[in-house]
């Protein structure tokens, strides 16, 4: 009982025990509440540079609040490990020294996944663009020669990952996990919620979403993807035990990857549906740089508002699962 009260007090102290229970719009994606006999309890947090919303269905208010607080607290160490803006984080130490002994498991997992997506998308997803990101964040424009020099540092194949050691290809190389870290944390949150008995839940971190339903008879979560060129929703998808992530230059001042040359129209937003949020997050990031490099359930909206759906983009994730085998 004491631990439950402590978690509830924790939520109250940070001002996130609101009275409303409706799921609200978050950034580039809207969660459309379905009519259901199960109540929805939803709480919001500011983390990872975005608004995080956790929604639980089928629990009493007090129980749901305790579960949400527990799950949120459980991922705070993961958030810190992957935070390139914190000088004390494991990622920052790796970037500073060019190597890291006995790296935390979460950093190893995210980097291993990053390497797989980097190779699978032929470099469209590339965490080693951190030096470019840092210059852009400072408002420094890059000449073609600057970009060529920086591209020499953007070789993820030179990164080695093991339980004992992570090594970068050079001391000048820097990594950013902005395009995959949120997805990983959302997956960890979803896993913890399930462990705590909240089998039906939705986690939304600024457009990186995991939707779970404990029973197949329950209504799926309906997700509306907002238009990047005008107000309104351009498409909806029903999710049950799956994830969706959207990347776009209307949610950030610049992409953290440099788009490939030769594209006649650059995307304004890319959305990817996948089995895990870490996969959806990374592939949405890659598709923003080079849509042709991503073979997934993808929706792309360009600067004219024109939509391009992949073969696997469907309204119901059950169809997606069947098609993908």
Q: Cα dihedral sign for 286, 291, 295, 301?
A: positive
CATH T-level topology, domain 19-59+180-324: T-fold (3.10.520)
In tens digits, the chain (325 residues) has pLDDT values of: 444 445 444 444 443 433 222 333 334 555 665 545 557 899 999 999 899 999 999 899 999 999 999 999 999 999 999 999 899 999 999 999 999 999 999 999 999 999 999 999 999 899 988 766 666 666 667 677 766 766 666 789 999 999 999 999 888 889 999 999 999 999 999 999 999 999 999 999 999 999 999 887 678 898 988 888 777 888 888 898 999 999 875 444 444 445 444 444 567 889 999 999 999 999 999 998 888 888 888 898 887 788 888 877 754 444 444 444 4
Q: Shortest CA distance to 99 belongs to which of 174, 23, 192, 198? A: 174
Cβ atoms 175, 97 nearer than 8 A: no
Residue 179 marked ligand-binding = yes
Between CA 23 and CA 297 the distance in angstroms is 25
The residue to which tokens 């970037």 are assigned: 95
What are the Cα distances from residue 20, in Å, to 16, 41, 61? Answer: 11, 8, 11
Cβ atoms 281, 183 nearer than 8 A: yes
Domain ranges for the chain: 19-59+180-324, 95-167
Cβ atoms 212, 194 nearer than 8 A: yes
| 3-state secondary structure string across 206-246 | CCEEEEECCCCCCCCEEEEEECCCCCCEEEEEEECCEEEEE
CATH T-level topology, domain 95-167: T-fold (1.10.3980)
Residue 149 marked ligand-binding = no
Residue 281 marked ligand-binding = yes
Between CA 260 and CA 123 the distance in angstroms is 10
């Amino acid at each position: 009982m004491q631990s439950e009260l402590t978690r509830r007090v924790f939520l109250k102290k940070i001002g996130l025990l609101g009275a409303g229970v409706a799921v609200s719009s978050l950034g580039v994606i809207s969660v459309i509440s379905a009519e259901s006999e199960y109540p929805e309890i939803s709480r919001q947090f500011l983390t990872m540079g975005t608004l995080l919303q956790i929604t639980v269905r089928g629990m009493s208010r007090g129980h749901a609040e305790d579960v949400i607080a527990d799950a949120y607290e459980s991922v705070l160490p993961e958030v810190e490990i992957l935070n390139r803006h914190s000088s004390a984080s494991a990622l920052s130490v790796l970037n500073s020294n060019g190597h890291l002994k006995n790296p935390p498991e979460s950093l190893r997992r995210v980097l291993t996944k990053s390497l797989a997506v980097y190779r699978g998308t032929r470099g469209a997803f590339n965490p080693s663009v951190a030096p470019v990101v840092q210059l852009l964040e400072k408002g420094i424009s890059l000449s073609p020669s600057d970009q060529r020099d920086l591209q020499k540092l953007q070789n993820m194949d030179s990164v080695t990952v093991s339980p004992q050691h992570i090594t970068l290809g050079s001391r000048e190389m820097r990594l950013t996990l902005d395009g995959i870290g949120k997805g990983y944390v959302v997956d960890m949150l979803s896993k913890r919620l399930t462990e705590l008995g909240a089998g039906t839940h939705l986690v939304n971190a600024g457009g990186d979403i995991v939707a779970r339903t404990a029973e197949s008879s329950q209504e799926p979560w309906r997700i509306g993807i907002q238009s990047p060129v005008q107000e309104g929703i351009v498409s909806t998808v029903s999710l049950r035990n799956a994830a969706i992530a959207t990347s776009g230059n209307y949610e950030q001042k610049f992409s953290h990857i440099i788009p490939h040359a030769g594209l006649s129209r650059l995307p304004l937003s890319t959305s990817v549906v996948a089995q895990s949020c870490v996969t959806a997050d990374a592939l949405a990031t890659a598709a923003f740089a080079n849509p042709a490099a991503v073979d997934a359930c993808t929706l792309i909206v360009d600067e004219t508002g024109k939509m391009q759906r992949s073969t696997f983009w469907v309204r119901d994730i059950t169809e997606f699962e069947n098609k993908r085998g």
